[in-house]
């Protein structure tokens, strides 16, 4: 099994040549070592004979006579693959490929795993071949979730039997989570979750149960969800999410520490500046104060609350001869004012 985890032997000034070729999406590290042994790789005009070489961004790496460009920062996209596309760069049968349908502004990308011709749904794309191979490994432990339409009438007991794994034609498949969503006539919808993702695994397992698949949609790959992404649409995954989910590949940037002895700047206020300088102060320094230290107008007295008025009338009713507001009985001017 190739070692596609971050290499601790890399230095800050560069990275191992095998990792460089893997990041460029050309091959795996194991394949890169084989290419070097075959004399197909050169650095700065020198043909390599060993993979124990560290290259820097300024080095000229050539494979089979073609220059390998410096790798860009690692990026990941979510793509809603429609049915009818193959997940290969070139197809011998001339069928349309995923990469032919991608927006032209996207850089060169590779897919994380594959979806067969008639499958649809979430396909992860990245410009880092090493990351793609790392995410494909079963040891990553990410759950792939699918929604599957089958022909037949599956039972809960039938689907529960997949929890211990199944062997088909000598191929052992790991534990599979399967739950019946609903039965519609002679068809049924099933939610399937698995962690290995072998070639055509869902279709072969369902057919083994006598349930041929008529539609297969991948809903999630680990923490990445298809969501409401339209068929054929591409959306880049924010870098903060990549840092949270893949800390080995996307370490969090440390905030620069303040210099020793640095003094925190003091925010000035308009009301503390001379009148001639107040006009040039930034608006964020005012906090509601007026230029030149002018004081704001006193607040108007608030009108009494309705509850307070009711209490006043109730108090007046308990004292004969008094009305609310201090008016006396028989005072016609007071009554007129009301």
Q: What is the average pLDDT value for the chain, to the nearest integer? A: 80
Catalytic residue list contains 64: no
pLDDT at 267 over 50: no
Q: Is the separation of the CB atoms in 190 and 180 below 8 Å?
A: yes
Q: How far apart are CA 180 and CA 279, in angstroms?
A: 71
Residue 256 inside a domain? The answer is no
Kindly name the residue from 116, 128, 244, 335 that is annotated as catalytic: 116
Q: Is the separation of the CB atoms in 180 and 159 below 8 Å?
A: yes
For residue 269, the tally of other CB atoms under 10 A from its CB is: 14
Task: State whether 32 and 174 are in the same domain.
Answer: no
- Across the range 315-333, mean pLDDT stands at 54
Q: DSSP assignment, residue 232?
A: T
Task: State whether 128 and 96 are in the same domain.
Answer: yes
Task: State whether 124 and 172 are in the same domain.
Answer: no
Task: State whether 23 and 81 are in the same domain.
Answer: no
Task: State whether 188 and 45 are in the same domain.
Answer: no
Task: Give the range of the structural domain holding residue 238, as residue numbers without chain letter.
Answer: 76-138+226-245
Task: State whether 163 and 211 are in the same domain.
Answer: yes
Q: Is the separation of the CB atoms in 190 and 202 below 8 Å?
A: no
Domain containing 23 — which CATH number? 3.10.290.10
- Across the range 68-73, mean pLDDT stands at 81
Domain containing 201 — which CATH number? 3.30.70.1560
Residue 294 inside a domain? The answer is no
Q: How far apart are CA 99 and CA 85, in angstroms?
A: 9
Domain boundary among 221, 256, 286: 221
Residue 268 inside a domain? The answer is no
For residue 15, the tally of other CB atoms under 10 A from its CB is: 21
Using only C-alpha atoms, what is the Rg of the chain?
35
Looking from the CA of 219 toward its CB, the CA atoms found within 13 Å total 11
Strand 76-81, strand 234-236: pairing: antiparallel
The per-residue pLDDT for 236 is 96
The per-residue pLDDT for 5 is 42
pTM of the full structure: 0.64
Total of domains in the chain: 3
């Amino acid at each position: 099994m190739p070692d596609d985890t971050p290499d601790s032997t890399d230095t800050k000034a560069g990275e191992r040549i095998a990792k460089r070729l893997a990041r460029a999406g050309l091959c795996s590290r194991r394949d890169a070592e084989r290419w070097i042994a075959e004399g197909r790789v050169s650095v700065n005009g020198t043909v390599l004979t060993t993979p124990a070489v560290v290259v820097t961004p300024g080095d000229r790496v050539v494979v089979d006579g073609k220059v390998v460009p410096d790798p860009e920062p690692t990026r990941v996209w979510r793509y809603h693959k429609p049915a009818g596309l193959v997940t290969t760069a070139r197809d011998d049968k001339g069928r349309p490929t995923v990469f032919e349908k991608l927006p032209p502004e996207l850089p060169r990308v590779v897919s994380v795993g594959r979806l067969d011709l008639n499958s649809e749904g979430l396909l992860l794309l990245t410009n880092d071949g090493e990351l793609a191979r790392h995410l494909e490994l079963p040891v990553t432990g990410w759950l792939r979730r699918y929604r599957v339409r089958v022909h037949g009438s599956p039972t809960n007991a039938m689907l529960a039997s997949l929890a211990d794994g199944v062997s088909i034609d000598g191929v052992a498949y790991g534990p599979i989570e399967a739950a019946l969503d609903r039965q519609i006539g002679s068809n049924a919808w099933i939610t399937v979750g698995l962690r290995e993702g072998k070639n055509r695994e869902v279709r072969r397992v369902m057919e083994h149960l006598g349930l041929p698949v008529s539609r297969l949609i991948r809903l999630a790959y680990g923490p990445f969800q298809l969501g409401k992404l339209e068929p054929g649409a591409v959306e880049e995954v924010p870098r903060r999410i990549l840092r949270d989910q893949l800390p080995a590949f996307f370490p969090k940037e440390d905030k620069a520490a303040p210099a020793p002895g640095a003094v925190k700047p003091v925010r000035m206020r308009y009301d503390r500046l001379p009148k001639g300088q107040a006009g040039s102060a930034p608006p964020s320094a005012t906090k509601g104060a007026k230029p030149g230290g002018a004081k704001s107008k006193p607040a108007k007295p608030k009108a009494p609350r309705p509850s307070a008025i009711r209490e006043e009338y109730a108090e007046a009713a308990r004292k004969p001869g008094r009305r609310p507001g201090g008016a006396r009985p028989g005072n016609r001017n007071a009554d007129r004012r009301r």
